[in-house]
Structures are given as structure tokens and as C-alpha cells.
Amino acid sequence: MIRRSILLSLLALAFTTASRAEETAQASQRAHDEIWRRFIDSYGIMIDFADMDGKVSLPTPEECREGKPNALGWWAPIENGAMFNGLYMDAAVNRWKRTQAATDAEKARKLMQGLLLLNSISDVKGFVGRGVSTDGKSHYPMGSNDQTLPWFLGLWRYWQSGIATDAEKAKITEHLKTTAEEIVRLGWKMPAEVPFGTRGSFEGFHFEETARKLFTMKMLHAVTGDAKWQKAYLDELAKRGGEKQLTKREICAGGMVFFYAKTHNWTSCTAVGALRALWELETDAALKADYARGLVASAKLAAEALPLAQKWDNADTSPFEMNWRVMNADWKPQTTEKEAQELAMVQLKTFLKASPRRSKETAFVREPTAAAWIVTLCPDATVLNTHAPEVEKVIARYDFTKLYYSQFFWVEMAWERLKDRS
């Protein structure tokens, strides 16, 4: 009787596990379908939000030139194209590796072409745009470090995926090299258009800056073979600074740290993605182990945000204002980054009053789904298996057809990595 009871329990557990795995896989597929139905524009760039039919009013060329709603493009539907495309490439590449389907290869290629377009729309060398207007070229004059690092990361993922042709690899290498060299020339600042000059930097001793800069150096050595990048990378690892006077190697080993909000997995995940890439690229066993420690620490911190997903209500009917131009009531000309940012924060208050749905999606969808991907970037199977059930709950939590924002794409990225755990 005892043996029979144990056997029945084991069979029930196996059935439950298989059922949960199937549910999670189906949820990931639904997320994939919804992203490609509503949120990838005709140029292969992911937009921020759309209605349930995939309709959105893009900023006009004139609005982009005038900086409406603001010169940063914050809160507009083309705010995060470089960031989201670059990150989402992780899912596209891993999906193709799993399916080997030509249609999946073409989706990854379309994302890559969108990334290259965003580096080709400005006369400013090394500029990486956020998105494009109705003409496929007009854009806001400032990108950022949050946009540029994923741009590097996504193109590298495609370059080394096995999908890229020799011609594509050569073209991507040239874009990566030219952009990186211009950023270095500017003291590791991101190029921006007149009158702004630059915006954002990879320079500093915070985890995010450290991982971004080291990845850029290591990646450039991998794609170009130029020894100068490897030397710069090794020199950078030994640099010491910040409040705790740590080396950059020690900072990486410490992992993700929140600093401007209680949690901000959605922006910090770019640096954790860079750290994962460093772990993959590194051949020195001791240094690779330090990167692994940083990924473990990052996964544990991110896991604390996973329960936020359970606060989401799929039946919520809070209004969302598709007409983002309501923010133009606060508009005024901007000539500095500070002026643009101050305007954007005033406009956000206006937008949130008209769109209370926005804050709910960013808090209970964007944050836990980004956290789920961070967890799955951890190479430690024990840590990953510990948090896998909660990650699966996040992936299966949402009705993606009822979300206005595209910022659930991390669930597909998480599932494509989670399924391979041992």
C-alpha cells in the first residue's frame, strides 16, 4: 500500500509538471503571436503601445523635428525601439535554434534589419535612434545608453546565431565597429543630434555602466579580432572606483543593484544581458566564475519581483488614452537634455491622469516579466530550478490580447531559456 501510494504521488507530480510545462509553452506562443500581430512595425522595429487591433498613431516627421511630446521621445509609441528590438533578439534567436524554421529565421532577420535602420537614419556618426516616424526615417534627436547597449547586444546575438550570412556579418561588424569607435571618441557617451550633442554614457562604476562597457569591448574583440579591444577590456577590469572602491571585476561579481527606484528590472536587465554575454564570451575560468556569481546574485534579486505578476488583473478595464498627443498641451521648446527631461516628467503626470492603465501595466507586467528573463539568464541550474515555478507562473499569468503595451515580450525570452534548464 505504501509503495502504491508513493507511485501514485510520483505519477501525479509528473502529470502536474508536464501540464504546467505545456501551459507555459502555450503562453509563450501566445505572447509571440501577439508581439508579431500588433507591435512590430513595417520597418521591423518594436513599438511601445498599440490598441487591440494593432493600430497606433505614430509621431509625424514634423513632431519628431519639433520634439513633441518631448525631444527624448519619452511616452511616445516609438520610445524604445532600439532597446526592445535588441533585447527581443534573444528570444528570436533561441526560438530559431529550437525550431530551425525559415519563418523564425526571417523574423530574427527583420529585427536585425530594424536595428541597422536605427543606426542609419541620422547624419550624426554612431547615432542609434529609438524608432522611426511614418516616413521610416524621421526620429527623435536623442537616444540613450539604455537604447544603445541592447542595440549592441541584439546585433551581436544575431551575428553569432548561425542565421547571419557572411554578407550580413560583415555589414553588422562595420556598424558595430563604427558606432563603438565614435562612442569611445566621445568619452563613452552616446551621440545625439544638435543641439543636444550626447546623451547617456557607459562610463562609471555602477554595475550597469560597468557591464555595458566591458561587454562592448569584449564583443568588439570577438567580431573584429582586433587585439586593441581585448587589451582595453583587460585594463578596464582592473580599474577601481565608486563608493566602495571596487574593481570593475568585483562589481560584475556583485551583480545587479537597484538605485533609482525600489526595483527597475526592466532597465537593469540590459546590463544583466551584457553580463550573461560576457560569461558566454569569456574563456578564463576564474573570470568566468566571477561573472557567474554576478548572474546568480542578479537572479536572486530579480526573483523578489516575480510575485508582482500576481497583482495583475486580466479583467481590469482601467482606461488607456491612445491619443498620446494630450501631452502636447504641456509642450515647450527644448534645447538641452535637462529641459527635455523636465518637460517629459510634467507630461507623464498628464498622461497618467488620462491613462491610469499605464502605471498598472508597467508595475505588474513590465517589471515582473523583465525579472523573469533576468532569472533565466543565470547559468546555475540549482538557482534556476529553485525559481522556475515562479517564473512559469509569470509567463502564464497574462491575457496578452488585452495589454496595450508591448512590454510583456520578456515572457517569451524567459521561456526560450527556461525550457533548456537541466
More confident residue, 2 or 131: 131
Q: State mean pLDDT over 203-214.
A: 98
Average pLDDT over residues 160-167: 98
Residue 2's pLDDT is 72
Give me the residue label for grid cell 518631448.
Answer: 70
Mean pLDDT of the chain: 96
Q: In the Cβ-directed half-sphere of 229, how many Cα atoms lie within 13 Å?
A: 19
The predicted structure's pLDDT at residue 291? 98
Q: What is the reported pTM?
A: 0.95
Q: How confident is the model at residue 20 (pLDDT cuts 50, 70, 90)?
A: confident
**From the CB of residue 345, how many other CB atoms can be counted at a distance below 10 Å?**
11
- pLDDT tens for 135-151 read 999 999 999 999 999 99
pLDDT class of 3 with cuts at 50, 70, 90: low
Helices 227-238 and 207-224, packing angle to 10 deg: 160
Query: For residues 99 and 420, which has the higher predicted lDDT (pLDDT)?
Result: 99
pLDDT tens-digit series, residues 122-135:
999 999 999 999 99
**pLDDT band, very low/low/confident/very high, at 7 (cuts 50, 70, 90):** low
Indicate if the pLDDT at residue 33 is higher than 60.
Answer: yes
% of the chain with per-residue pLDDT over 90: 94
- The whole-angstrom separation of Cα 109 and Cα 418 is 23
337 pLDDT above the threshold of 60? yes
Summarize pLDDT for 267-302 with one digit per residue, the tens.
999 999 999 999 999 999 999 999 999 999 999 999
* pLDDT at residue 152 is higher than 90: yes
Nearest of 31, 92, 6, 67 to residue 334 by alpha carbon = 67
Does position 60 have pLDDT exceeding 60, yes or no? yes
Q: How far apart are CA 102 and CA 45, in angstroms?
A: 20
What's the chain's length in residues?
422
Q: What is the mean pLDDT of residues 89-100?
A: 98
The pLDDT value given to residue 6: 66
Alpha helices in 255-377 (DSSP H): 265-281, 285-303, 337-354, 356-361, 367-376
Q: Answer yes or no: is pLDDT of 4 > 90.
A: no
- Are 390 and 303 in contact by the 8 Å Cβ rule? The answer is yes
